[in-house]
Structure 1
């Protein structure tokens, strides 16, 4: 019997990559921007994949889904911080739009993960 691996879950992989992209971007900002918006956006972006990973590691279906939903909440927080960073000219418009678009793909991915978990687990 082959088990699912975290690194094979689309939502996790996508969120992990976005978190790394945002980290690299924020790392280049001036001190004030890093300490105000930068810390917030980095924490929320990293929280998406971290919550998916934590949910993946839980035994019971309800626990798994609860953490997947926490990750979904962090998606919307990250989107908000990206919009603020764009408006405050911390991220070029085109790059911000690409990141926002990438973040906006995650709710559907996380919902598919929740649906899959609901269908495949009995407990």
Structure 2
């Protein structure tokens, strides 16, 4: 469930598929971050983990917003953070051989699925706004 299909049914944040996917992404990133030495953490890892964790944080904040436009704004920010995280930081880490090919593939798979779900969630929020 995406969370807004039905006005009468509230889905807790932790059961929301886009939030669960963002947490999966964060867990993958954290496992990479934990094995970094101090130098790599400070120069690449801190930025990478912050941008990936902000995806879930913005989904959570958007989901808690009552007004549709506020909600949509945070979903857009989550989608932009997802792009920054994966298309920049994760790719950079892969280029620099910080990230293994298998990790890179798993993260890309999760992120593509999450991007589709975020786009759908944005559309659902727009459609719900039109109904009132």
TM-score by length of 1: 0.91
- 1:30 aligns with 37
Gaps of 5+ in 1: none
Aligned equivalent of 2:54, options 30, 42, 47? 47
Aligned equivalent of 2:18, options 2, 7, 11? 11
SS at match of 1:47: helix
| Aligned: 1:103 with 2:92 | no
Verify the 8 A CA contact 1:47 1:74 in the aligned structure 2: yes
Greater Cα shift, 103-112 or 68-77: 103-112
TM-score by length of 2: 0.86
Gaps of 5+ in 2: 1-7
Detail structure 1 runs of 4+ shifted over 6 Å in the superposition.
none
Query: How many Å apart are 1:44 and its aligned residue?
Result: 0.6
Query: How many Å apart are 1:70 and its aligned residue?
Result: 0.1
Paired positions, count:
123
SS at match of 2:85: helix
Tell me how large the CA RMSD over aligned residues is: 1.5
Aligned equivalent of 1:120, options 106, 122, 128? 128
- 1:21 aligns with 28
